[in-house]
Amino acid sequence: MNSDYDENFARAGLPDPRSQKETEVSEQTNLVALTIKRPDEALFKSSEAMLETARSYKITTADAALAAGEDLKAIKTLAKQVEDKRTAITGPINDALREVNALFKPAKDWLAQAEKLLKGKLLDYQSEQTRIAREAQAKADEEARKQREKLEQQAAKAEAKGKAEKAEELREQAELREAPVVSSAAPKIEGVSTREIWKAEVTDKLAFLKHVVEKRPDLVALVQLDQGGLNAQARSLKDALDLPGVKAVKESIIAARGH
């Protein structure tokens, strides 16, 4: 097994990590170098001032509405400036993050594939050993059953001959005759565990929905609606939307452009 392990690393052109010694790195190359300057404080003060202005508004006249409209456009303009400043900082950071992720992606992919392969092979082995143990257990149980049956027959014959004590002894032996427990030969590996995960698979959606409606309304939370699809219906049909338990809801929003 160890020789196979060594050969696998040799074929890949990699050192065996079990014997790899700590080495000193004589040269280091910076992958990413970033310098980020703090944005102008005036940008934040102007944004906060806009919020205070919006809070102070009481729009009860046409002039107030026009003034609010102008301030709304100013807010949009300032918001774009804030976003431009933000992306000027986050852009290089995101670029650096992409470079780092790209650098490590091959190694992560190789290791993920290696993990998946070994887990699959271990599960196959464990399943096979479980099957073998189950068959051996069934065979042992059957053998024990036959022995109990034989002892019961012997007890009946002894009882028929008037040997009550012998019959009782044979019946006690029959009750105690149990098959030994057959365990799987798969070893317990320290740091590696196997657990069962149960999932539900819907094989007949209509049958499930009918069951919920007619017999288990308490399970209605398990039914996930396609809200995006319903919204598309509402946008298309508007007031004409006619679905039981669903109504079209209109919301008004204001759109504004900056200066």
The pLDDT tens digits of the residues spanning 95-146 come to: 999 999 999 999 999 999 999 999 999 999 999 999 999 999 999 999 999 9
In a domain? residue 94: yes
SS3 of the chain: CHHHHHHHHHHCCCCCCCCCCCCCCCCCCCCCCCCCCCCCHHHHHHHHHHHHHHHHCCCCCHHHHHHHHHHHHHHHHHHHHHHHHHHHHHHHHHHHHHHHHHHHHHHHHHHHHHHHHHHHHHHHHHHHHHHHHHHHHHHHHHHHHHHHHHHHHHHHHHHHCCCHHHHHHHHHHHHHCCCCCCCCCCCCCCCCCCCCCCCCCCCCHHHHHHHHHHCCHHHHHHCCCCHHHHHHHHHHHHHHCCECCECCCCCCCCCCCCC
pTM: 0.62
In a domain? residue 210: yes
Residue 78 and residue 46 in contact, taking contact as beta carbons nearer than 8 Å? yes
**Number of domains comprising the chain:** 2
In a domain? residue 41: yes
Q: How far apart are CA 145 and CA 175, in angstroms?
A: 10
Same domain, 67 and 125: yes
Same domain, 172 and 212: no
Residue 86, domain extent: 37-176
Query: Which of 166, 62, 241, 258 is closest to 250 using CA atoms?
Result: 241
Same domain, 87 and 157: yes
Same domain, 52 and 149: yes
Same domain, 124 and 236: no
Same domain, 213 and 172: no
In a domain? residue 24: no
pLDDT digits (tens, 9 = 90+) for 172-229: 999 999 999 999 988 988 898 888 898 999 999 999 999 999 999 999 999 988 999 9
Same domain, 167 and 41: yes
**In sequence order, which residues have a C-beta less than 8 Å from that of residue 76 and are 6 or more positions away?**
256, 257, 258
Same domain, 213 and 100: no
In a domain? residue 27: no
Same domain, 223 and 155: no
What is the reported pLDDT for 148?
93
In a domain? residue 246: no
Average pLDDT, stretch 41-49? Answer: 94
Same domain, 166 and 214: no
**In sequence order, which residues have a C-beta less than 8 Å from that of residue 92 and are 6 or more positions away?**
34, 36
Query: Which of 49, 88, 93, 104 is closest to 71 using CA atoms?
Result: 49
Same domain, 123 and 230: no
In a domain? residue 227: yes
Instruction: Provide the percentage of residues in the chain whose pLDDT is more than 90.
Output: 68
In a domain? residue 21: no
